[in-house]
Chains A and B, each alone.
Chain A
Amino acid sequence: MALMEGVASPQAYLQSRSRWRPVEIAFWLATLLPYLLFPNYLSLASQIAITALFALSLDLILGYAGIVSLGHAAFFGIGAYTAGLLSKYGWGEPFSGLVAAAVMASLVGYATSFIIARFRHLALIMLTMGFGLLLAELANSAGWLTGGVDGLQGVSMWPLFGYLHFDLFGRAAYGYSLAVLFIVFLFARRLINSPFGLALRGIRENAVRMPAIGAASRTHIRTIYTIAAAIAGVAGALLAQTTETASLETLGFQRSADVLVMLVLGGAGRLYGGLIGAAIFMVARDQFSGIAPQYWYFWIGVLLVVVVVLLPNGVLGGLAKLTARWGPR
């Protein structure tokens, strides 16, 4: 079994594919820049980190397993209300709030995954959207619990580690959100480089072939759907904790649609696509809404059309193409 000269062994080759690249390290170092360069925008930075986490969770199901969801905010909202309610009724410790949110969201994710795993394409979009709408209206009607349209009042978080308070400027909030994003990202990165991650890519690349190699595709889909739900729940919990409220908007269709847009902008199936997309989307919203508050979705529309037409694999896909052409291979 001689390999060509200068080519790595199969194992070393697969190992090298999961190695940290310098650009990744640079990316994570850059996430600390807001503390130095934009100290007045730390609240926005925190929102971006939270949204990025949410987009990452969607990327795991959409970008890796090919499950298109238009109701992913359901899990974000469940996480937000879980953490919010926990705090409102007397337990304001942030980290355990995240865990509780993850558990609640994953339970709902697991329960619905049995239906999700049976469908694909348009039926799946409609199903996920249906679940999302259903949950949003449930939350709306259960005003005694959720606070209805007024949102959840009386959320009060305990300080991080017992002494670090969430302040108005978002210093603690950004550090907290960013740290959670990074830890979950490490988990997601490990996951996509695992045998399970390979199986997910198999489902995305050719769902028809999977049963013909003896693959348990439905089990895989149920697993990743549950994991993605848990991560979305954590993102929702972060939002509730750092803003000390939870609103119906966290569950809304708009949020599901927005996160899909972010992933498409950044590039699905690349792990960083959701993070980049979230940053672009949130900064654009912040800037455009300063210019014309009512019409800022016009610009998001423009951005979406331009990116989809010119860069079908998102901003990251476009960058990858450029580096492949000019950079060293």
Chain B
Amino acid sequence: MSGPALSTRRLAKSFGSLIVARDIELSLPVGARYALIGPNGAGKTTLINLMTGMLSPNAGQIFLGDDDITGLEPQARVRRGLARTFQINTLFPGLNALEAVTLAVAERRGISGQFWKNVAEHREAIEEAYEILAKLRLGDSCYQVTRELPYGRQRLLEIALALATRPKVLLLDEPAAGVPQEESGDIFEAVASLSGDLTLLFIEHDMHVVFRFATHIIVLVGGGIFKEGTPAEIANDPGVREVYLGTRKHG
């Protein structure tokens, strides 16, 4: 196997005196499934925002494969294969699921600047969009306008939009946030069924889900990496128990 799919080097960010990321060094091998856990305010979403370019770091570098992407704009990072989903639905309320995913596919295929051709003429793009939706079991509600979709399906659409960019690395910010526990399994089943080449990092509070789906766990505390290891290592680490598992239960 070649180098990591995504890595960071001494990544740091602070808002005034509040340090939200301190010297973060991580390295995700190709095809890995990492869970990012930590108490509220540990800087988990901030880390995703830094890696995707929605925030710019004060110091440090981010690499996608071998390429330094630290200075790239968010959309340029997406085009190189780094996609994300959002903890709070960030969808296109007035578009239906098919239109939204077709839009994302069209952007990736570089046809979104075409204003002289009907979108329906781009058969391959539409079929690709539909396949993504069908894979996430959204096929039968793909003509429904997003704002009227049930909440759980909106969470799946979050993932569908990210998949339409054909990512190499996918960062999922609490994919099952707000979904009742009995349904959150469905969402993670969908995540687990994604291609094995795809490198995944997901934020999740539910430890059952984390231990079930992650091959590796990173514990973030106070903006820094507190511990990193396999699920078994993390579960048996006294320090982690103390700062995270042992205190209040989240999720």
Binding site for B on A (CB under 8 A): 1, 3-4, 7, 10-15, 17-18, 190-191, 193-199, 201-202, 204-206, 208-217, 219-220, 223, 227
Contacts and interface: CB of A to CB of B under 8 A. Distances in A.
Contacts of A18: 118-120
Given A1-B134, A18-B120, A205-B93, A214 B113 contact: no
Given A205-B95, A212-B74, A198 B127 contact: no
Nearest to A201: B95
Interface of B: 52, 54, 73-75, 78-79, 83-84, 86, 90-95, 98-100, 102-104, 106-108, 111-120, 122-123, 125-127, 129-131, 134, 139-140, 142-143, 161-162, 164-165
Given A11-B123, A201-B95, A216-B75, 20 more contacts: A1-B131, A1-B134, A4-B140, A7-B143, A15-B120, A195-B111, A195-B113, A196-B115, A198-B106, A199-B113, A211-B73, A212-B74, A212-B78, A212-B83, A213-B107, A213-B164, A214-B78, A215-B75, A215-B112, A227-B115
B126 A214 contact: no
A199 B75 contact: no
16 contacts: A3-B139, A10-B98, A11-B127, A190-B116, A195-B106, A195-B113, A195-B115, A202-B95, A202-B100, A205-B92, A211-B74, A212-B83, A213-B83, A213-B103, A213-B161, A216-B75
Contacts of A194: 114-119
A204 B165 CA distance: 20
Nearest to B93: A205
A34 B239 CA distance: 83
B161 A195 contact: no
A204 B118 CA distance: 19
B75 to A, nearest CB: 4
A199 B122 CA distance: 14
Contacts of B107: 199, 213-216
Contacts of A205: 92-95
Given A202-B92, A212-B83, A195 B127 contact: no
Given A15-B118, A212-B78, A220-B112, A198 B99 contact: yes
Given A14-B98, A206-B90, A214-B108, A198 B75 contact: no
